[in-house]
């Protein structure tokens, strides 16, 4: 902590220096409503002559902060909208409210916003599910938000698409098809959140969200106790779902693409009562999706209704439900295995056997959120979530691999029944003591999770006397026939009998005080969280643990558009696994040191963030390299360290030209080895990252002339120094080669219609991820190392037509 204390001292000195600058301690905020009293969404609000602008949010609210005393002309405008303006004079430390009522009614405004919509990749304020109630520029942490417009432009239809290209350092290690997301960042797999809840019941969940009901995705880098839910010290992503806005809008879209992709999505947003108190939104999608590999498919349909009711002027309740139904080829159909090296088989090669039953998933989730505003500065939020995940299916994985490239394909049963019951309560408020403003956040988080799985039955498709030859594949009737698994008992009973149970109970309390000094030019965060966890895994005896984790952060505004920050945070999270020794599993403990600078450019049109960090994690589990086929033991690494630097850029560089670009350097190594562990050594590279990750997405839209509304976009992903999923006890490196993917597209938008076409993997490269297994297939008569990889699609396309009404 001594180094960090010195850093904080430097930052405080900067804060005192800033105080000597001209006073910018005043603000203007207000609400924009339509002629019939509804919030006006996405309307431009500008300080004329200052070249400072923002947009009204879903509640019609806008805000300008850090203004110096003087007279300002506040202008409200949009293409096709009658301009409104108000002159306001600010004194020192003066905070004034300026509201606007438009001449247009809500239905008229809908057409205005559709026609004059500006493409936005930059988001200035996180969702309320992050609970921070502050602009990203002032938060002492690196938080990156992938906007809904970004998802639409890049034709991201599920979390397993190229979503991670928009965030520095984020990669997908194992594809798991379109079933699970499994994102790594800062050297570890990060936690999956939805609307502020930790939504993971096991390593394999949750089911990747269909984008039809997703508004945007927030990536929080490093520990985040303010999320209340358990989180990894490397970070988390928070999926924010679509909610009613009362804007009386709708959208229907059709997408077609390579390999028999056909998809229809529908979004209807409506007021159910004339007073706008009862709002409704309905999102749905249906999809048929083939693959470049034979026999493989992933068909889905999704429905997601939501309802909100303004009970009183200060009380609002929102209820959401989402149902996802998936029917897909058995899990593992995308894996390829060979003793000869990566990419030594055609990328459309498959080990899947035609006739094996598909995997079926029914995923239910529900959320209820109640907000009570006590005043302009204090509010309380209570929310609950329920999830029910049902899977009936199978997984494929070879039981034997031989040096001549032949193998024995195996199909294992994988039925699962998972339930989550989660609850949170938190309070946000603001008080002043002398010249210091205290932004208070306190809350409770509790949950119960149960995961029951039967993956203990398996069947070899091939006979030892007639193994499957990858160089001369025969997909006829398998030599050992098809499996006939015993499902006479319920999944829960089978799981309990075989030890396939993961359960967890947890509770935590969190208290944070952000102290704002020098008229909010410097913000010091003092926070702590106490967590209690009780869990058991795969039939092991329950473990209990508790811990207090502190958080210390500082953010200093250099001027209205730039800030520097430092943060020290700890994490304490449970983990699942089973040690060969039978010893209990301790939770992960981790700490994060981070420094960064954030800056808005061109009056907030685009933003950059640069951060450096060091994360230390103790007690983390990894797969036991000594596992034989059918075993799932883990080992405790001891301590590992991840450190690096990250750069993110988002926004509109100039009119019509938008850019998302990022770069990350990541270095993950083992720094201590637990007693008795021989398969890991100090200095060993920890799998799960690419040392150099670079991404960009550039989009240009013609603003005038005959080509107005037409646009072109292009993007790339480059990964170098990939150290991913190497299960190797010989300590030699069989890491993956560098990766480069280029995408490009065209689009046109006008009169409520948008046509988008993208070509992915333009260069038609053989792209893949995977890992090396040194002795996984170990038996008395053979011990064969093997390379495993999951290929990506060759050059392919998607075309979408969307109509807003």
Query: What confidence tens digit (pLDDT) does each residue in 188-244 have?
Result: 888 899 999 998 887 776 788 999 999 999 999 988 888 776 667 889 999 999 999
Is pLDDT above 50 for 781? Answer: no
pLDDT at 727: 52
- Of 70-74, 178-182, 577-581, 707-711, where does mean pLDDT reach its minimum? 577-581
Q: Tell whether domain 128-241 is in CATH 2.60.120.650.
A: no
Which tens digit of pLDDT belongs to each residue from 370-395? 999 998 889 999 999 999 999 999 99
Nearest by Cα to 328 from 312, 346, 352? 352
CA atoms 219, 569, 620, 414: torsion sign: negative
Q: What digits encode the pLDDT tens for the residues 285-334?
A: 999 999 999 999 999 999 999 999 999 989 999 999 999 999 999 988 98
Is residue 450 over pLDDT 70? Answer: yes
Bridge partners of 101, per DSSP, are: 33
For 480-522, the DSSP string reads T-------SS-HHHHHHHHT-EEEEEEEEEEEEEEEEETTTTE
Q: Which residues does 345 contact at the CB level (< 8 Å), separation at least 6?
A: 336, 338, 470
Give 764's contacts (C-beta < 8 A, 6+ positions apart): 794, 795
Output 200 or 587, whichever has higher pLDDT.
200
By three-state DSSP, how is residue 18 classified?
helix
Cα–Cα distance between 338 and 360 in angstroms, integer? 29
HEC sequence for 603-639: CCCEEEEEEEEEEEEECCEEECCCCCCCCCCEEECEE
- Asked if 95 contacts 68 with a C-beta cutoff of 8 angstroms, the reply is no
The per-residue pLDDT for 410 is: 94
Mean pLDDT of 517-532: 92
Residue tagged 């990889």 (tokens)? 789
Number of alpha carbons in the 13 Å side-chain half-sphere of residue 397 = 17
Residue 4 or 104, more confident? 104
According to DSSP, residue 102 is labeled -
Residue 281, class by beta-carbon neighbours within 10 Å (0-12 exposed, 13-18 middle, 19+ buried)?
A: buried
Q: Is 212 left (phi over 0), alpha (psi -120 to 50) or beta?
A: alpha
How many Å apart are CA 774 and CA 762, to the nearest integer?
34
- For 75-84, 582-591, 683-692, 758-767, which range has the lowest pLDDT when averaged over its residues? 75-84
CA 182/CA 176 separation, integer angstroms = 8
Token reading at 796: 């392919």
Answer whether residue 617 shows pLDDT above 70. yes
Please report the beta strands in 619-765, taking only residues with DSSP state E, as ranges in sequence order: 621-623, 634-636, 638-654, 657-673, 689-701, 710-723, 739-750, 753-760
pLDDT band of residue 17 (cuts 50, 70, 90) is very low
pLDDT of residue 151: 94
Question: Nearest Cα to 657, choosing from 596, 699, 718?
Answer: 699
Q: Tell me which residue has tokens 């558009």.
A: 561
Answer whether residue 168 shows pLDDT above 70.
yes
Is pLDDT larger for residue 784 or for residue 656?
656
pLDDT band at 7 (very low <50, low <70, confident <90, very high): very low
How far is it, in rounded angstroms, from Cα 547 to Cα 620? Answer: 16
What pLDDT, on a 0 to 100 scale, did the predictor assign at position 525? 95
Decide: helix, strand or coil at residue 776: strand
Are 416 and 389 in contact by the 8 Å Cβ rule? The answer is yes
684 and 731 Cβ atoms separated by less than 8 Å: yes
Say yes or no to pLDDT of 660 above 90: yes
Q: Confidence band (pLDDT; 50, 70, 90) for 10?
A: very low
Residue 53 has a pLDDT of 73
Structure confidence at residue 560 (pLDDT) = 85
Q: What number of H helices and E strands is found in the chain? A: 4, 49
CA 257 to chain centre: 25
Beta bridge partners of 667: 643
Segment of 132-141, 153-162, 377-386, 628-637 carrying the highest mean pLDDT: 377-386
For 587, the 3-state DSSP assignment is coil
Q: What's the pLDDT at 538?
A: 79
- Computed over every residue of the chain, the mean pLDDT equals 86
Residues 6+ away with beta carbon under 8 Å from 604: 52, 53, 54, 122, 124, 561
Assigned fold of 2-111: Immunoglobulin-like (2.60.40)
Residue recorded with tokens 């024995």: 408
Supply 377's token pair.
């500065």
546-565 pLDDT, tens per residue?
A: 889 899 999 999 988 899 99
Q: Where are the domains of the chain?
A: 2-111, 128-241, 249-804
| Helix (H/G/I), strand (E/B), else coil: 479 | coil
Per-residue pLDDT tens digits for 421-448: 999 999 999 999 988 999 999 999 999 9
Q: Which is higher by pLDDT, 49 or 30?
A: 30
In this prediction, residue 733 carries a pLDDT of 54
Do 152 and 117 touch, CB atoms closer than 8 A?
no
537 versus 687: which is more confidently predicted? 537
Question: Can you give the pTM of this predicted structure?
Answer: 0.85
d(C-alpha 19, C-alpha 462), whole Å: 75
What's 207's DSSP letter? B
CA distance 222 to 217: 16
Token pair listed for 544 = 């209990």
Q: How confident is the model at residue 639 (pLDDT cuts 50, 70, 90)?
A: confident
Homologous superfamily assigned to 249-804: TonB-dependent receptor, beta-barrel domain (2.40.170.20)
pLDDT tens digit sequence for 36-76? 676 777 777 888 777 677 878 767 788 888 788 888 889 88
| Whether 388 contacts 418, CB under 8 Å | yes
Torsion sign across C-alpha atoms 488, 493, 498, 502: positive
Give yes or no for a contact between 365 and 386, defined as CB atoms under 8 angstroms apart.
yes
Which of the pair, 569 or 735, is modelled with greater confidence?
Answer: 569
């Amino acid at each position: 902590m001594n180094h960090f204390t010195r850093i904080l001292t430097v930052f405080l000195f900067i804060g005192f220096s800033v105080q000597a600058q001209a006073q910018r301690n005043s603000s203007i905020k207000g609400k924009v409503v339509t002629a019939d009293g509804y919030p006006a969404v996405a309307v431009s609000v500008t300080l004329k002559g200052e070249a400072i602008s923002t947009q009204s949010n879903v509640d019609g609210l806008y805000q300008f902060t850090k203004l110096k005393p003087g007279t300002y002309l506040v202008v409200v405008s949009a293409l096709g909208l009658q301009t409104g303006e108000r002159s306001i004079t600010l004194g020192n430390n003066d905070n004034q409210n300026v509201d606007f009522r438009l001449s247009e009614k809500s239905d008229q405004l809908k057409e205005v916003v559709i026609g004059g919509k500006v493409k936005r990749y930059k988001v200035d304020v996180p969702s309320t599910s992050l609970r921070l109630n502050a602009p990203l520029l002032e938060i002492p942490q690196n938080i990156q938000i992938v906007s809904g417009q970004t998802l639409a432009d890049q034709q991201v239809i599920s979390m397993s698409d190229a979503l991670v290209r928009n965030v520095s350092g984020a990669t997908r290690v194992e594809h798991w098809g379109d079933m699970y997301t499994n994102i790594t960042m800062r050297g570890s797999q990060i936690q999956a959140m939805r609307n502020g809840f930790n939504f993971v019941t096991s390593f394999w969940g949750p089911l990747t969200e269909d984008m039809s009901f997703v508004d945007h995705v927030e990536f929080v880098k490093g520990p985040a106790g303010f999320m209340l839910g358990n989180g990894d010290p490397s970070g988390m992503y928070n999926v924010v779902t679509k909610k009613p806005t009362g804007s009386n809008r709708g959208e229907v879209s059709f997408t077609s693409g390579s390999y028999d992709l056909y998809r229809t999505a529908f979004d209807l947003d409506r007021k159910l009562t004339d007073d706008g108190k009862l709002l409704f939104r309905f999102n749905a999608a249906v999809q048929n999706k083939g693959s470049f590999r034979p026999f493989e498919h992933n068909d889905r349909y999704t429905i997601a209704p939501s309802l909100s009711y303004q009970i009183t002027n200060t009380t609002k309740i929102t209820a959401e439900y989402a149902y996802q139904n998936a029917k897909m080829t058995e899990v593992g159909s995308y894996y390829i295995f060979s003793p000869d090296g990566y990419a030594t088989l055609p990328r459309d090669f498959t080990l899947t056997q035609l006739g094996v039953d598909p995997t079926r998933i029914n995923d239910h989730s529900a959320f209820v959120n109640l907000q009570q505003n006590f005043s302009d500065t204090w509010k309380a939020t209570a929310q609950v979530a329920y999830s029910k995940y049902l899977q009936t299916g199978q997984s494929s994985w070879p039981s034997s691999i031989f040096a001549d490239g032949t193998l024995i394909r195996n199909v294992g049963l994988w039925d699962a029944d998972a339930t989550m019951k989660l609850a949170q309560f938190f309070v946000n408020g603001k008080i002043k003591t002398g010249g210091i403003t205290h932004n208070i956040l306190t809350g409770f988080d509790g949950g119960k999770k149960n995961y029951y799985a039967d993956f203990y039955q398996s069947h070899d498709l091939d006979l030892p006397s007639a193994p499957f030859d990858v160089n001369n594949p025969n997909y006829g009737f398998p030599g050992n026939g098809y499996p006939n698994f015993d499902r006479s008992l319920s999944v829960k009973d089978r799981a309990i009998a075989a030890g396939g149970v993961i359960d967890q109970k947890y509770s935590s309390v969190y208290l944070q005080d952000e102290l704002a000094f020098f008229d909010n030019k410097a913000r010091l965060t003092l926070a702590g969280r106490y967590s209690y966890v009780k869990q058991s895994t795969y039939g092991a005896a329950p473990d209990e643990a508790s811990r207090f984790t502190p958080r210390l952060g500082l953010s200093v505004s250099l001027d209205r558009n730039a800030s520097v920050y430092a943060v020290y945070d700890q994490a304490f999270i449970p983990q699942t696994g089973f040690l060969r020794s039978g010893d209990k599993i301790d939770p992960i403990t981790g700490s994060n040191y981070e420094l960064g600078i954030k800056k808005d450019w061109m009056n907030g049109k685009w933003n950059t963030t640069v951060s450096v960090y060091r994360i230390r994690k103790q007690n983390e589990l990894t797969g036991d390299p000594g596992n034989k086929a059918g075993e799932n033991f883990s080992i405790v690494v001891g301590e590992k360290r991840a450190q690096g630097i990250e750069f993110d850029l988002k926004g509109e560089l100039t009119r019509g030209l938008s850019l998302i670009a990022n770069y990350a350097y990541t270095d993950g190594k083992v720094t201590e080895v637990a007693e008795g562990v021989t398969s890991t050594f100090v200095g060993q590279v920890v799998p799960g990252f690419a040392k150099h990750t670079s991404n960009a997405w550039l989009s240009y839209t013609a603003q005038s002339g005959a080509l107005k509304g037409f646009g072109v976009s292009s993007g790339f992903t480059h990964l170098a120094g990939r150290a991913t999923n190497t299960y190797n006890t010989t300590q030699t490196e069989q890491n993956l080669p560098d990766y480069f993917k280029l995408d490009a597209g065209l689009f046109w938008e006008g009169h409520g219609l948008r046509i988008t076409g993208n070509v992915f993997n333009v260069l038609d490269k053989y792209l893949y991820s995977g890992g090396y297994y040194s002795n996984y297939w170990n038996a008395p008569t053979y011990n064969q190392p093997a390379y495993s990889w999951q290929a990506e699609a060759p050059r392919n396309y998607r075309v979408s037509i969307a109509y807003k009404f």
